[in-house]
Chain A
Amino acid sequence: MTEADMTEAETTEAETPEAEVTETAASATLEVKGLNAFYGKSQVVFDLDLHVEPGESVAVLGRNGAGKTSMLMAIAGVVASRAERLTLGGVDLSRLPSFKRVQAGVSLVPSGSRSFPNLTVDENLSMVRSGKQRNGGIEWTVDDAYKQFPVLADLKNNSAGTLSGGERQMLAVARAMVANPMLLMLDEPSEGLAPMIVKGIATRLREMAGQGIGILMTEQNHRLALEVADRVYFIEKGQSVWEGDATAAADPSVLSQYLSV
């Protein structure tokens, strides 16, 4: 909680894990500078700086109520925000309504494994508006999603409301995948899921990052985050208080300082 910790550890950047993948998504950097988010008059995110490079996985960790969800929702355009800079691949997102941000390549998997329970699994996937105009990039189709998540292929014609928690989260990730984002954001993707399922999802996320997609995820529980992330931010009361690489973040003293209640 000491302000002194804001003098953060060195940010090691040029550390792209799978450097040579043959097929890559069109790549784009997310740049956030001075982000403020509001619910009506009450401000919940303050002057936040953050960036996610193509192919990089970034985790934002913090206690319950720290502002993680609000931050993602602000980037997605669902929560009102003001920023000095909010761009993806140089494209200014700040003026776009949320549905246009999706088309610009931002995809958010909200917390709670949400899907459309009254639609079938197949309808859930086939209704996604893919940001098609990815010149030169790979493009995932619904069939590719079924290959990645064979369980879903078997449940194709079942209504999503009948799926288990793990299956619903796979569906949520599959939906994000077929949207072909350049930036994939996930809000507490491991929340309430069995370790086996979390492992599977971690693998998918690493593959997507390997194809050049930037990943920005939040967690209260650092298990999945530290397994997938290259870089970590800790936030408290809507402000960034620590930034560094995942190995440094995994240090028990760091974790206990920013996450223990």
Chain B
Amino acid sequence: MSEPVSFLGGRVAEGAVTVRDAGLQGMITLRGDLAATKVKNVVKKVTGQAIPAQRKALVEGRRGALWMSPDELLLLVPYAEAEEAVATITKALRGVHHLAVNVSDARAYVTVEGAGAAEVMAKNAPVDFSAAAFGAGDFRRSRVGQVAAAFWKDEAGAFHVVSFRSVGDYVFDLLRVSAEAGPVGALS
């Protein structure tokens, strides 16, 4: 067996705002009727979380559920458990119209943390990142720079950014350069 490594290989750009590879993270795309009891139950079983409300993220450590659309969630589980989690979902939802896929290796995963993290995000996404508009547990699918990305904010004010693996380099460098350039004061 080869040792799994995250796409960004543990890269870190330290500064007033630090941009870092969040490391290996199990990610499962789940599509289906989010109001169905069987779906709710298996999401709870696999992630420990309820179905998140519209544009919300429910995350605890490496486990969580992110609201991607009215019929899609991105489930977070520890990397090593992703295959098993997909098997659990597939078994629990037998006969229920759904789709569950392990997308862990198709994603890059970056954390943006520090006092000016919201400004770094605001430089790159067409989203209102003021504390009143985008608080802890808020989630958005949008773009950063020129590529699609999904992100949410945690209790500590850090942002967690998910992108396609193929554009992971771009996303990391974009956020790193934005962090290096310093705050512009737009959100303070």
Q: Do these two chains interact?
A: no
